[in-house]
Amino acid sequence: MLTERQLLILKAIIDDYITHAEPVGSRSVSKREDMSYSPATIRNEMSDLEELGFLEKPHSSAGRIPSQKGYRYYVDHLLSPQKLSKKDKSGIQSVFQERFSEIEEVIQQSAKILSNLTSYTSIVLGPEVFESTLKQLQIIPISNEAAVAIIVTDTGHVENQTVAIPEGLNTHDLEKVVNIINERLKGVPLVHLRHKLTTEIGKVLEKYIDQYDLMLSLLNRTFISHQNEKVFFGGKTNILAQPEFHNVERVRELFNIFEENALISKLFRAEDQGLTIKIGQENRFEPFDECTVITATYAIDGKHMGTVGILGPTRMEYPRVVGIMDYMAKDLSKLLTNRYNK
């Protein structure tokens, strides 16, 4: 268990390192306003903190930097989220209230605000599709061989996919089927569509439609793979301003990762409701060993929808970011609930 004084010193060192990105020496800690001990005393405590694993030394004659364990302790016990300034709050509000827009635009905007406010990179996972339900299906033939299938969800989101028309399919029947689907499957979550196709309305279709097999194969392809979440970035290049990324090889690696939506989605998907902080190796992903990922979930009317996330160096301005994220997630939830849940 750490003593009161150790806590004070640990917090001082981390706060200092967060802002200056340089190893913190005993002298500069001692000089702080709320610090009434001499450098020598601090040195002794620092030595202890190092032995306990909360601090480390880049080399023997440098100051200390927080270890991953140090950050973890800081986050768990010493962190007090910063209240947002009125300016920040009104900044968020104003962007949201700008105009009526599709849910994805709102999300995209959120990512942008988040990165602007934090000056880190923000990553927002769009509403998870399995929560949204079918509003309307359209299949529009483009040529003799292809058609565009359009799915509109209750949130106003539009998915579209080009599908080949199986040879010999009667387009008249296709229309009929689309109508049946629109009548009977409205309100069904997208992820269940494929399943319902065979269970719920399978019999109906078989009765009305000659080429049931052909039709099914077409519809299956229409409903396939809408499970991939959209990923929205804000301030992709913000993180390059951090000294941690002053080497092009790393940058390259990072941006390659950014291109892999599936990976990003996996890394940022929140496991729990609420705010999560993953520091360094807690991300279980080697290129992020010196990064912290903070995620928060947003919801529509209490139903979990997606995740807003921030990627920054482990040396992140935790108080500020946590404050912002918290506010943001709640505000976003409120907004989305108001707009799309009536």
Partner DNA sequence: ATTTAGCACTCGACGTAAGAGAGTGCTAAC
Partner DNA sequence: GTTAGCACTCTCTTACGTCGAGTGCTAAAT
- Enumerate binding residues for its own copies (CB under 8 A): 100-102, 105, 135-136, 138, 140, 142-146, 148, 150, 152, 154-156, 158, 160-164, 236-237, 240-241, 245-248, 251-252, 255-256, 259, 340, 342
Q: At what angle do helices 4-20 and 39-51 cross, to 10 degrees?
A: 90
Q: Indicate the residue among 179 and 247 with the shorter CB distance to DNA.
A: 247
Structure tokens at 235: 């301030």
User: What is the rounded end-to-end Cα distance, in angstroms, of the chain?
Assistant: 52
Coil, helix or strand at residue 201: coil
Nearer to its own copies, 198 or 247 (CB): 247
The item of DNA, its own copies, none sharing an interface with residue 158, based on CB under 5 to 8 Å by kind, is: its own copies
**Residue 140 binds which of DNA, its own copies, none (CB < 5-8 A, kind-dependent):** its own copies
When CB distances are held under 5 to 8 angstroms depending on the partner's kind, the choice from its own copies, DNA, none that residue 97 binds is: none
**Tally of residues, the chain:** 342
Which residues partner with 311 through β-bridges? 121, 293
Question: Residue 31 burial by CB count (10 A; 0-12/13-18/19+): exposed, middle or buried?
Answer: exposed
Cβ proximity to DNA, 44 vs 198, nearer residue = 44
- Give the three-class secondary structure for 148: strand
Q: Quick one: what does residue 57 bind among DNA, its own copies, none, with the CB cut-off 5 to 8 Å set by partner type?
A: DNA
Please identify, using beta-carbon distances, which residue of 78 and 150 lies nearer to its own copies. 150
Give me the least distance between CB of 101 and its own copies, in Å please: 6
Q: In terms of CB distance, is 64 or 226 closer to DNA? A: 64
**Cβ of residue 111: shortest distance to DNA, in angstroms?**
35
Q: Where are the alpha helices (DSSP H) in the chain?
A: 4-20, 26-30, 39-51, 68-73, 86-96, 103-118, 171-184, 193-198, 202-208, 212-223, 248-259, 261-268, 318-340
28 binds, among its own copies, DNA, none (CB under 5 to 8 A by kind): DNA
Residue placing its CB nearer to DNA in the complex, 5 or 194 = 5
Q: Which is nearer to its own copies, 183 or 206 (CB)?
A: 183
Cα–Cα dist 13/274, whole Å: 28
Among its own copies, DNA, none, residue 154 binds (CB under 5-8 Å by kind): its own copies
Beta strand pairing status for 291-300 and 65-66?
Answer: unpaired
Residue closer to DNA by CB (options 44, 80) is: 44
Q: What is the x/- site pattern for DNA, positions 24-63, by CB under 7 A?
A: xxxxx-------xxxxxx-xx-xx--x------x-xxxxx
- C-alpha–C-alpha distance, residues 212 and 215, integer Å: 5
121 forms part of the interface with DNA (CB under 7 A) = no
Q: What's the CA gap between 163 and 64, in Å, rounded?
A: 60
Task: Report whether 163 contacts 218 (CB < 8 A).
Answer: yes
Q: 23 touches which of DNA, its own copies, none (CB within 5 to 8 A by kind)?
A: DNA
Partner from its own copies, DNA, none binding residue 47, C-beta < 5-8 Å depending on class: DNA
Total interface residues for DNA by CB under 7 A: 24
What CA–CA distances, in Å, run from 271 to 76, 101, 263, 275?
Answer: 18, 28, 15, 10
Q: Which residues bind DNA (CB under 7 A)?
A: 23-28, 36-41, 43-44, 46-47, 50, 57, 59-64
